[in-house]
Amino acid sequence: MRIAVLGGDGYCGWATALYLSQKGHTVQIIDNFIRRKWDSELGVQTLTPIRTLHERVSAWSKRTGKTIEVLVGDVTDYEFLASAIRGFEPDAVVHFAEQRSAPYSMIDRKHAALTQINNVMGTLNLLFALREFQPNCHLVKLGTMGEYGTPNIDIEEGYIEIEHNGRKDVLPYPKQPGSFYHLSKVHDSHNIMFCCKIWKLRATDLNQGVVYGTVTDETSLDEALINRFDYDEVFGTVLNRFVIEAAAGHPLTVYGKGGQTRGFLDIRDTVRCIEIACLNPANPGEFRVFNQFTEQFSVLDLALMVQTAGAKMGLSVDINHIPDPRVEAETHYYNARHSKLVDLGLQPHYLSDSLLDSLLTIAIEYRDRIDMSLFMPQVNWRSAKNERQLDSKSLSVTTAGQ
C-alpha cells in the first residue's frame, strides 16, 4: 500500500514509518520538525540521541535498500498538504501530526490555543484535502483513550448502545477529556465523524493508550535509527519516565495516590495496530473507532513493577507520592474494551520483566544524558499560567517513599 505518515519524525510516527516500510509498503513521511522545536523551547531532550530525519532515512535505506520519501511541511498549511496528497496519492494516511502532550497544552493560554488550533486545523485540512483529491483514501487517525476520561461504567470502542425511556440508539460514547490536548482529540473525533457522514470518507480513529518502550525490530537495526525516549514531565509518558527515574536514582514521581488507571501498550504493538488498521480499511462513510491498548495498569502498579525490576538489577528505587498536578480522580473504576484490534489479528506484547529490564538497560546506557531537574511536574492544571522552569518548586516533594 501507499501510506503517508504525517508526523513521521516523532516517537510513534518514526517507529511506524520504519515498520510499514519493512513490511513492503511505500511510505512517505510528512513532518515539520515542530516536535524537536518543542524540546528546544522547554530545554529538554530525548534520552536517546536521535539523528536528523534525513540521516535516519538515509541509514534506513543503506541498511534495508528501502526508500522512505520525506516531505517537510506543516499540515496546517492547506496548500502544502493538498499538494502532498495529490502528489503521493496515498491509499492510507496515518495522522500522528499533532501536539500530543497534555502538560504542554496546560502550560498557559498560548499553549492551549496552539494545541487546539494545530491539532484541529491540521485534521480539518486533511479531511478537506482527502475529500478534494483522494476521497477513497483511508484516514487512520491517532486519537487517545483519554477522550473517554474515567466514567463509572465500562468504556466501549467509540460507540455505546443506550436504552432510554423505552427507546434505543447506538450513539457516540460520551467524552470527558482531561486536558486541552485531550479536548483537541475529542474535537477531531467529532469533526472526522461528521466528514465521514457528509462526504463518505473512510476513517479509523485509534484511541491509543499510553505507549511505553522505545525499541522495535526496525529501530534496533542501526544506531542511527534509534527512536526517541522522552522522560521529562511534559513529553515523557509515565512508564518511560519511571524507568529513567529509577536508572537515575531519583524517586519515582507518582502523582497523588497513583490509583489513576489507564490503558497501556508497547510501541511494538502501536506499529502493528497501525498496519492492521491500514490493511483492513473502514468502509466509505464509516467512522470506526478502535481502542488501541493491550493492558490496564494503575500508575502505582507501574511504579511497583519498576521498583521490583530495579531491585533485581541492584537499583534501590523509592516511590514518592507528590501532589497531583492534574485535576483527575486519583482512584476510580476503569474497564475499557479493546477487542477490535485483537479480532483483526493483533498479538499483544504484554508488559514483562524482560521489557522492563531492557528499558532499564537503555536508561543506564544513556544515564549521563539524564537531566534530573526534568522529573518533577511544573505544569499545574489549576493554574491558568505556568511559568515553566521558573517555578519548579511550586509542587513540593512529599516523603512518602516506600
| Binding site residues, its own copies, CB under 8 A | 78, 109, 112-113, 116-117, 120-121, 124-125, 128, 131-132, 151-154, 160, 162-165, 167-169, 171-180, 183, 186-187, 190-191, 193-194, 197-199, 327, 333, 381-382, 384-385
Q: Which triple of cell numbers denotes residue 203?
A: 476513517
Residue 105: Cβ within 10 Å count: 25
Q: What are the angstrom distances between the C-alpha of 302 and each of 64, 76, 236, 358? A: 36, 37, 14, 15
Asked if 115 is an active-site residue, the reply is no
Which of 104, 148, 173, 181 is the catalytic position?
181
Q: How far is the CB of 172 from its own copies (least distance, A)?
A: 5
Q: How far is the CB of 271 from its own copies (least distance, A)?
A: 30
Q: Which CB sits closer to its own copies, 16 or 179?
A: 179
Dihedral of CA 244/246/247/249: which sign? Answer: positive
Tell me, yes or no, if 185 is annotated catalytic.
yes
Shortest Cβ 279–its own copies spacing (Å): 28
| Closer to its own copies by Cβ: residue 201 or 370 | 201
Contact, 381 vs 111, CB < 8 A? no
Task: Using the minimum distance from each CB to its own copies, give the nearer residue, 332 or 349.
Answer: 332
The one-letter amino acid code at 362 reads I
Catalytic residue among 16, 76, 141, 185: 185
Q: Which is nearer to its own copies, 179 or 237 (CB)?
A: 179
Catalytic residue (one of 46, 115, 144, 253): 144
User: Taking a C-beta distance cutoff of 8 angstroms, is the pair 208, 293 a contact?
Assistant: yes
Helices (H), 134-259: 180-199, 238-248
Question: CB atoms < 10 A from the CB of 232, how many?
Answer: 22
For residues 1 and 160, which CB has a smaller minimum distance to its own copies in the complex? 160
> What span, in angstroms and rounded, lies between the C-alpha atoms of 57 and 51?
10
Respond yes or no: is residue 144 known to be catalytic.
yes
Least Å from the CB of residue 228 to its own copies:
28
Closest distance of CB 257 from its own copies, Å: 18
- Phi, psi at 286, each rounded to 5°: -90, 130
Catalytic positions, written as ranges: 144, 181, 185
